[in-house]
Amino acid sequence: MPLRLIFMGTPEFSAQTLRAILDAGHEVVAVYSQPPRPAGRRGLELTKSPVHQLAEAEGIEVRTPVSLKQETEHEAFRALGADAAIVVAYGLLLPKAILEGTRLGAFNGHASLLPRWRGAAPIQRSIMAGDERTGMMIMKMDEGLDTGPVAMTEEVPINGETTAGALHDELMNVGGRLMVKALAALEAGTLKLTPQEEDGATYARKIGKDETRVDWSLPAAQVDRHIRGLSPFPGAWCEMKVGEKVERVKLLRSILADGAGEPGEIIADGLVVACGQGAIKLIEVQRAGGKPMSADEFLRGAKLVKGDRFL
């Protein structure tokens, strides 16, 4: 018999799991998502989240509270009479009353191999740290930050060309499939929960604006991971001098390259740039106000030559 579920999520990453749950035949009695936010070039239009839009298209009730702390919210949640709550990148902390507001509890889809990278930015942090693997985990939520017991895991490799955007999309697809598998076991009464180890626990704090600028004095491997880990959003960036003007440039894709020079110096054709140790070759960049472009396209417009420097 299909489960009666409450779904809680906001971005595209979450919407994929909601879609998979609906396709599997489960009943979603209500969806919780972040309230519509200003969007558009002028920020004047309120835009509903991807999860909100999908739920409305499927005729599912959508709730967008700014907080879940109030007793009235707890009562409204319990009144839905759900078997379980499914939480994927929702964006609000769940109080105990919500965690215990369904018959079987709340289950979270998290994009890391817990206990590594608990927190807000596990995809970016795994690449930036040089991890060789990550994955999706389904866990039963408790009052801690991503500390609950784990039900299911699927690993995904990270290679030297993986960007945060590509890894996001792969984990998004894995997450939907894995959640459906976990719900089938939950429905059958065979879902096994394993407590997390505390050894090796790390925190994936939200990416701050103050850490997006490229530091060319760092080793090439670290610069490369920094670029790939922030691509396409929020984007690692640096500055360059074009004529008398200093222009900001986003760096979207790179690979390691041979060579040495002053940090930030272009040391070979094709945008090979020296770092503190070694060098990287830029593959894709984006000028301020422009679209992503290849290094060759960029050079035709910027006319940088060997010896010029990124700042």
Annotated binding-site residues for (6S)-5,6,7,8-tetrahydrofolate read 112-115
What's the CA gap between 166 and 133, in Å, rounded?
14
What's the CA gap between 271 and 262, in Å, rounded?
14
What's the CA gap between 227 and 250, in Å, rounded?
9
Burial 140-153 (b: 16+ CB within 10 A, else e): bbbeeebbbebbbe
Asked if 167 and 134 touch (Cβ cutoff 8 Å), the reply is yes
Annotated binding-site members: 112-115
Asked if 55 and 33 touch (Cβ cutoff 8 Å), the reply is yes
Q: Can you spell out the DSSP letters for 276-298?
A: SBSEEEEEEEEETTS--EEHHHH
What's the CA gap between 307 and 225, in Å, rounded?
24
Of 260, 265, 256, 251, give the one whose Cα is nearest residue 294. Answer: 251
| Amino acid in position 293 | M
What's the CA gap between 152 and 199, in Å, rounded?
19
